[in-house]
């Protein structure tokens, strides 16, 4: 039986992972499940999967979790240290699906144990790519992509020589506002931004899809995962979300990965890798689809995309600045303090401030320097937001 742990088990990716696990209960021995505020879901899944330990990220939720697990024999724990302790428990396969930089310390700890870390949480590669890759290398651990585009690229590279790759094209649905008039974007509400035309995902990534901050993170994720140069990475808007990514080779061939927009494909591929097993996803009927469309992303509509290329050009710890400023801008948008288009403005200003002042961007990348940079960038973003609050 394979030992597995799921970080962010109560979220959208976590629940899709559990759906796959539950179809073959005899194959898995569940070590740790973690969540945040959704204690009922966490306890229910921990009982159903007979996990060894269930952890909530929030200390004040511990009594509720303990009560919900009473009599089950499952250990209940809470807080950041408990998340890292759960990651230190031996597991063969670990799903990293906590949203945001909060997943960094547990992800690094799982790699230190030599686990295969399946990375849904793209923020980790954006804020600490070099550190993650080096930790995986030095502990003989493996990182597998779960983001649909990166899983598609990974599958497109099987048996290929990375040196023969000319370009990588990742697709973007264009998000909730892809067909809105530009001037209307200013007034877009949180509820409007939280509804995705094709994918059913957590609220934060759904809003990031509407602003293309999600694609901006994914461009950086592509660079970190596959070590291609920034000018080899292209984004194309593909409203149907059927083609997830394409890999272009030096002989001109462009290999595409197609599939229904269902994250259980990418999760299942990582779960069973290097095998391919039966997965409960829809089979495409190409004749019924009839057509697939592509268009270039409009830079005026999606300013976040350009920022990703600025971040890659600067290098060092700038990815941590970018991710942290984006997370705070998104918090403030969700709280109603700033408008939809203000998010990219705030992030751009924070990047400028870090670039022009001596903020240690070129220090060695360690958990401490990433955390310090993340903290400073969040403070800068909060200061910027004060200018918008009326």
Q: Which residues bind Mg ion (CB under 5 A)?
A: 147-149
Q: From Mg ion, ligand NDP, none, which one binds at residue 6 (CB under 5 to 8 Å depending on kind)? A: none
Q: From Mg ion, ligand NDP, none, which one binds at residue 13 (CB under 5 to 8 Å depending on kind)? A: ligand NDP
Where would I find the beta strands (DSSP E) of the chain?
Answer: 2-7, 28-35, 53-56, 75-78, 93-96, 116-119, 142-145, 165-172, 233-237, 243-249, 254-258
Least separation in angstroms between CB 260 and ligand NDP: 13
Q: Nearest-CB residue to ligand NDP?
A: 11
Q: From ligand NDP, Mg ion, none, which one binds at residue 263 (CB under 5 to 8 Å depending on kind)? A: ligand NDP
Q: From Mg ion, ligand NDP, none, which one binds at residue 99 (CB under 5 to 8 Å depending on kind)? A: ligand NDP
Least separation in angstroms between CB 266 and ligand NDP: 8
Q: Which residues does residue 56 pair with via DSSP β-bridges, in sequence order?
A: 35, 78
Q: From ligand NDP, Mg ion, none, which one binds at residue 258 (CB under 5 to 8 Å depending on kind)? A: none
Q: From Mg ion, ligand NDP, none, which one binds at residue 123 (CB under 5 to 8 Å depending on kind)? A: ligand NDP
Pair of tokens at residue 159: 């048996």
Instruction: Tell whether omega for the bond before 305 is within 30 degrees of 0, i.e. cis.
Output: no
- Which chain residues interact with ligand NDP by CB under 6 A? 8-14, 35-38, 57, 97-99, 102, 120-123, 147, 199, 201-202, 204-205, 263
How many other C-beta atoms can be found within 10 angstroms of the C-beta atom of residue 325? Answer: 28
How many other C-beta atoms can be found within 10 angstroms of the C-beta atom of residue 336? Answer: 9
**Rounded-to-integer distance, Cα 59 and Cα 241, Å:** 39
Is the Cβ of residue 204 or residue 215 nearer to ligand NDP in the bound state? Answer: 204
Is the Cβ of residue 170 or residue 361 nearer to ligand NDP in the bound state? Answer: 170
Contact present, 260 and 281 (Cβ < 8 Å) = yes
Q: How many Cα neighbours within 13 Å face the side chain of 168?
A: 28
Handedness of CA 5, 6, 10, 14 (dihedral sign): negative
Least separation in angstroms between CB 218 and Mg ion: 5
Is the Cβ of residue 121 or residue 135 nearer to ligand NDP in the bound state? Answer: 121
Is the Cβ of residue 223 or residue 359 nearer to ligand NDP in the bound state? Answer: 223
Least separation in angstroms between CB 67 and ligand NDP: 16
Least separation in angstroms between CB 80 and ligand NDP: 8
**Rounded-to-integer distance, Cα 305 and Cα 344, Å:** 9
| Residues near 6 by beta carbon (within 8 Å), at least 6 away in sequence | 14, 17, 18, 21, 30, 32, 33, 34, 94, 95, 97
Is the Cβ of residue 87 or residue 361 nearer to ligand NDP in the bound state? Answer: 87
């Amino acid at each position: 039986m394979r030992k597995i742990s799921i970080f962010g088990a109560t979220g959208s990716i976590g629940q899709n992972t559990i759906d796959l696990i539950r179809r073959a209960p005899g194959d898995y021995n569940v070590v740790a499940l973690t969540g945040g505020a959704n204690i009922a879901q966490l306890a229910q899944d921990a009982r159903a999967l007979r996990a060894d330990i269930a952890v909530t990220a929030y200390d004040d939720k511990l009594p509720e979790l303990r009560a919900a697990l009473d009599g089950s024999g499952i250990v209940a724990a809470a807080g950041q240290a408990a998340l890292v302790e759960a990651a230190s428990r031996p597991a063969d396969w670990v799903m990293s699906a906590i949203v945001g930089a909060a997943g960094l310390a547990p992800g690094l700890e799982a790699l230190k144990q030599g686990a295969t870390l399946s990375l849904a949480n793209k923020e980790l590669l954006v804020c600490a790519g070099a550190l993650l890759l080096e930790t995986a290398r030095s502990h003989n651990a493996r990182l597998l992509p779960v983001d649909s585009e990166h899983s598609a690229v990974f599958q497109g590279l099987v048996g290929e020589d990375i040196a023969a790759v000319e370009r990588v094209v990742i697709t973007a649905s264009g998000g909730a506002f892809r067909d809105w008039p530009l001037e209307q974007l200013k007034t877009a509400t949180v509820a409007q931004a939280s509804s995705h035309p094709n994918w059913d995902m957590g609220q934060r990534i759904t809003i990031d899809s509407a602003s293309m901050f999600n694609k901006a993170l994914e461009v950086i994720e592509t660079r970190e995962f596959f070590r291609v140069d920034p000018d080899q990475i292209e984004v194309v808007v593909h409203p149907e979300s059927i083609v997830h990514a394409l890999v272009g080779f030096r002989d001109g061939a462009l290999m595409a990965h197609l599939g229904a927009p269902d994250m259980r494909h990418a999760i299942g591929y990582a779960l069973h890798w290097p095998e391919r097993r039966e997965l409960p996803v829809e089979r495409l009927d190409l004749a019924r689809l009839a057509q697939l469309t592509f268009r270039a992303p409009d830079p005026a509509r999606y300013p976040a995309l350009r920022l990703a290329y600025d971040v890659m050009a600067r290098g060092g710890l700038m990815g941590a600045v970018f991710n942290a400023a984006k997370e705070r801008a998104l918090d403030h948008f969700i709280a109603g303090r700033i408008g939809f288009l203000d998010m990219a403005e705030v992030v751009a200003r924070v990047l400028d401030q870090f670039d022009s002042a001596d903020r240690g961007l070129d220090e060695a990348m360690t958990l401490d320097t990433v955390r310090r940079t993340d903290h400073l960038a969040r403070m800068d973003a909060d200061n910027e937001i004060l200018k918008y609050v009326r």
